[in-house]
Amino acid sequence: MKKNSSLICTVDIGNTTTSIGMYTKKGELKITFSLSSNPSRTHDEYAVILLNIFGRFNITPEMIEGFCISSVVPQLQGTFENLIRKYFPEAKEIILEPGVKTGIAVIYNPPSDVGADRIANAVGVWEKYGKSMTPKKPLVVVDFGTAITFDCISPKGEYLGGAIFPGIFIAVESLFKKTAKLPAILVKNPESVIGKSTTQSIQSGIVFGYASMIDGMIEKISSEFKSDVFSVATGGYSNLISKFCKKINKVDETLTLDGLFYIYIKNVHE
């Protein structure tokens, strides 16, 4: 490892988007950006993109100590592993999979079925909010990805499971493709619950409908815990939808990447 290696790169490979963050060893997030998740791209093509973006921020390969990767796309995981070994040969490589230290117990059947991004979310919410919380509360992460996931963490820091719901993009795309007269729309703040046009009606249904679903799910989760919960929203539409949710306590767009940073530290520096 070269002496000037001082940065940790986190990579969250999702079905639609790959998010990347660059951290100092102290946990300061220096840059974050996203790429389309395209399994047809080679590791060399992704390397050109990454090195170009890093260069714009005066980051050289020698400055990167290591990578921590979560992935729900096996083919792309392999692409990034090849990329790292070829273009960042001195960097450490942590792949979030069974056997990697996370600091949380996974109570799920079987534990290996939990998506790596969901574990990263659980670690992120526990390290950033749960550990220092007084009094302790159950934690819920609502991740607005290709699917909307609800991840539940006990007051002891145990991953308990959650729920999976079709994501907003899937719903909008399905309406457009499966109906003859409904148009493709841009998801944005609706002017009112009662839409005055077809586009406004779809926007209302998507935004207010999903907000109501999320509030309802959090209420049911709280009832199951028999306790109030602390809920954190993350992912692409988290800011937009959370404006209309009564049960979201915090929006944290970098929660998944932060979780990967903590996992890297636990496996390399503790």
- Alpha-carbon gap, residue 262 to 267, rounded angstroms: 9
DSSP state letter for 130: I
The CA–CA distances, whole Å, from 228 to 4, 43, 193, 223, 247 equal 46, 45, 28, 8, 10
* 235 backbone φψ class: left, alpha, beta (φ>0; ψ -120 to 50): left
- Alpha-carbon gap, residue 106 to 192, rounded angstroms: 42
User: Catalytic site residue 113?
Assistant: no
- Could you list the beta-strand ranges (E) of the chain: 7-13, 17-24, 29-36, 64-71, 92-95, 105-106, 139-144, 147-153, 158-166, 230-235, 250-251
Instruction: Count Cβ atoms within 10 A of the Cβ of residue 134 and give its class: 0-12 exposed, 13-18 middle, 19 or more buried.
Output: exposed
Residue 161 in contact with residue 149, Cβ under 8 Å?
Answer: no
Catalytic residue among 12, 113, 117, 252: 117
- Alpha-carbon gap, residue 97 to 88, rounded angstroms: 21
- Alpha-carbon gap, residue 148 to 167, rounded angstroms: 5
Residue 215: CB atoms within 10 Å: 16
- Alpha-carbon gap, residue 96 to 244, rounded angstroms: 33
Residue 177: CB atoms within 10 Å: 9
- Count of alpha carbons within 13 angstroms of residue 189, beta-carbon side: 7
Positions marked catalytic? 117
